[in-house]
Chain A
Amino acid sequence: MGLLEVDSLRVDYRTRRGSIRAVDDVSFKLEKGELLGLVGESGSGKSTLGLSIIRLVPPPGVIEQGSIRIDGDDIIDFSAEKMQSIRGSQISFIFQDPMTSLSPVKKISEHFIEFIRTHEPKTTKAEALKRANTTLRDVGILPERIADYPHQFSGGMRQRIMIALAITLNPEIVIADEPTTALDVIVQAKILDLLTELRDRYGMAWILITHDLSVVLERCDKILVMYAGGIVEYADSKELFRNPRHPYTQRLLQGIPNIEFSDQKLKAIPGSPPNLLNPPNGCSFSPRCSEGEPRCKSEKPQLLEVIPNHFVRCFKEM
């Protein structure tokens, strides 16, 4: 039994023009201390998938079916109060834009005290502050700055504070939704190193959501590639890097610049992702796929384990 088991999860946005299937029959497992990279382009449903794991899909999004098990308990059945009690303490979430993720009118200390005392009402303010200071030191923020307001910090520092908030209560799972997209490249690398370091020290499992495959390739244990709401490939990152089997993954890897062959032209994938209000029949990648067969346009391929721990959704692997 894994720490987190998502099974045939389906999330729809029920708009007036019809249902948009943002997450389509997604299943995966996350083990203790594992670093999972969730890769996909904008609109591939990766953020919705992340938010549905803490059951905070924004309306009109609805979890239509499937189960999300944490330590064996399906959180879909949890009451609103029970859900509140595990958010932040068992599963934490880090958002994309650190500039807007903290309330501008509250001091950093207030954010921590409120958060810790919500989950552990018996904690005194002094104890809460002490714990906040320890975690802040872990992420590289000077403890004396705890009395400052969010606007007194830079973007990278704010993201460090968000990370500190996320790990304060020792959650088993931390989901980070594009935690470095809003930051510059140097800070990006530092933040990513910090995540790996925290994983090594505290052993929590991470789900790192990103649109940048190169960001997760070298850091993550496993990688899950999403396209148009569905999983197209799911494998160990080394395996995925050496033997990408889905055409989409292959094209993504070709899109990463390589220092050794710097004069090589990068190849873009022609076309754009499908309109999810009106998804194509058959494989959702087929309109952009260069290796398609006729049946790709009419039949939907299944996600198959082609070799142990390597799942692909493509007819040519069957």
Chain B
Amino acid sequence: MGLRSYIIVRILLTIPLIMLLLSIVFLIIRVIPGDPVLLHFERKASEEAVEAMRQRLGLDKSLPIQYFEYLGGLFRGDLGRSMQDFSPVSEQIFSAFPATLELAICSMLVATTIGILLGVKASESYNSLKDHLIRAFGIIVYAMPIFFLGMIFQMIFAINFHWLPANGRFPPRLTEPRGMILFMNQPVGIAVWSFMIGLLCLALHVGLLRMKGVRFWGQGSTISLSHFMIVWIVGFTVWIVGFSYAQLNMSGVVRVSTGLFTVDSVIEGNILKFVESLRYLFLPSLTLGLVLSGVFIRLTRSNMLETLRLDFVTAAKARGLKESTVTYGYALRNAFLPILTMMGLQFATLLGGAILTETTFSWPGLGRYLVDRINFRDYTAIQGAVVYFALIVAVVNLIIDILYAYLDPRIRY
């Protein structure tokens, strides 16, 4: 079976998965107490009005008919309308999705960076004080309730020091690009940008060469002028691209909105908006990322300990490879599959909405949307969210499985 047919089969398999999940949820939300119509009117409506609303929402029909009508809509790609505010559920999910995606990506970055780095460090100094401290840290952050950690951060960084916003995603005043912020539309701004990016390229380049053991000065120096030429050309290209882009932006040709404020601000060339959106992202991502990092610390550490004992690690050392190459290029690279699996699972969960984090930080994502709708027994919205979530889990797992084959040549589909 080739990779393509594998993907097709996997996608087809998600259909029964979604059907099963949907059927269960469909029944359960109708069994639990609570009535979307009464909750809609907050119990202040006449019986006729309630009955009319029931008919309008189709709740007067028998369960099987409701079920098959919903399924029929689903096959046409229609998730139905919310029972709360009557707007299409798919639109609501799409509008809450970017906030959740942004939070999921940032907190995964925090969790995997902290988790993998600390896990590797712990395994390198197995059974030492450092190892014990890192393990203790991992358990503590994992056991920490998210809302508690979130509130502590809010108190320290937002209320006490006023460094970061306490909650919310973005103030309305900054959602539109403003002229003064568009550094990129002025030649001077672009010159500064290209200079900075050129420096960044140079730093990265030098760093990479240093890691490969290239000497820059003294005996055996191998760096030549061409390296600096390349860096300069990169900077120049950025200048040209940035300049023409700024022209497009000013003339209003670029009007793309992804809903991800960090991405949008870059597209708009609005650096202040970019910084501001990061400031709003910081506390929720840090909180969620720290709590999740506990899992990654333990997982990385235990897998590294197993891999570090394997012969090819000692053999790599015996060939005189550098300690960092052996640790990251050999041990971590081979210990990575279980970590990747966990990354996929966690990321899929996060894309379903981090309910506690989103509630603590009033983050307008899918988690809060779902809690909100469950409170109002908004049947269609809940069903829609379930369909969406099943799809996300299936897609993320599929991507992880494909990455497996890429990471480990022994895995073939």
Binding site for B on A (CB under 8 A): 54, 56, 58, 80, 84-89, 92-93, 95-97, 100-105, 107, 114-115, 117-119, 121-122, 149, 151, 162, 165
Known: A56-B314, A102-B312, A115-B319. A121 touches B214 (CB 8 A): yes
Q: Shortest distance in angstroms between B356's beta carbon and chain A's nearest beta carbon?
A: 37
Interface residues of B in 310-361 (CB under 8 A from A): 310-312, 314-323, 325, 329-330, 333-334
A-B contact pairs, 10 of them (CB 8 A): A84-B320, A87-B318, A100-B311, A101-B311, A107-B409, A118-B320, A121-B222, A149-B410, A162-B315, A165-B319
Q: Range of interface residues on chain B?
A: 20 to 34
Residues of B within 8 A of A102 (CB): 312, 315
B311 close to A95 (CB less than 8 A): yes
A105's partner among B317, B318, B325, B408 (CB-CB below 8 A) is B408
Residues of A within 8 A of B334 (CB): 103-105
CA of A51 to CA of B78, assembled, Å: 68
B333 close to A105 (CB less than 8 A): yes
Residues of B within 8 A of A149 (CB): 409-410
**Interface flag for B407 (CB, 8 Å):** yes
B312 close to A118 (CB less than 8 A): no
Known: A101-B311, A101-B315, A105-B334. A114 touches B410 (CB 8 A): no
Question: Which single residue of chain A is at the shortest CB-CB distance from B212?
Answer: A121
A104 close to B409 (CB less than 8 A): yes
Residues of A within 8 A of B318 (CB): 54, 56, 87-88, 92-93, 95
Which 4 interchain pairs have the tightest Cβ spacing? A87-B320, A88-B320, A88-B319, A93-B318
B320 close to A119 (CB less than 8 A): yes
Residues of B within 8 A of A122 (CB): 222
Residues of A within 8 A of B252 (CB): none
**Interface flag for B171 (CB, 8 Å):** no
Known: A121-B213, A122-B222. A104 touches B321 (CB 8 A): no
A118 close to B330 (CB less than 8 A): no
CA of A314 to CA of B183, assembled, Å: 87
CA of A73 to CA of B322, assembled, Å: 22
CA of A86 to CA of B318, assembled, Å: 9
Question: Which single residue of chain A is at the shortest CB-CB distance from B307?
Answer: A103
Which of B214, B320, B322, B334 gathers the greatest number of chain A CB atoms within 10 Å?
A: B320
Q: Shortest distance in angstroms between B317's beta carbon and chain A's nearest beta carbon?
A: 6
Q: Shortest distance in angstroms between B122's beta carbon and chain A's nearest beta carbon?
A: 15
Q: Shortest distance in angstroms between A90's beta carbon and chain B's nearest beta carbon?
A: 9
Residues of B within 8 A of A96 (CB): 311
Residues of B within 8 A of A117 (CB): 212
CA of A316 to CA of B330, assembled, Å: 52
A100 close to B312 (CB less than 8 A): yes
Which of B319, B323, B410 gathers the greatest number of chain A CB atoms within 10 Å?
A: B319
CA of A56 to CA of B329, assembled, Å: 19
Residues of A within 8 A of B315 (CB): 93, 95, 101-102, 162
CA of A122 to CA of B214, assembled, Å: 9
Known: A89-B320, A121-B222. A104 touches B213 (CB 8 A): no
Q: Shortest distance in angstroms between A62's beta carbon and chain B's nearest beta carbon?
A: 16
Residues of B within 8 A of A100 (CB): 310-312
Residues of A within 8 A of B322 (CB): 84, 118
Question: Which single residue of chain A is at the shortest CB-CB distance from B214?
Answer: A121
B320 close to A105 (CB less than 8 A): no
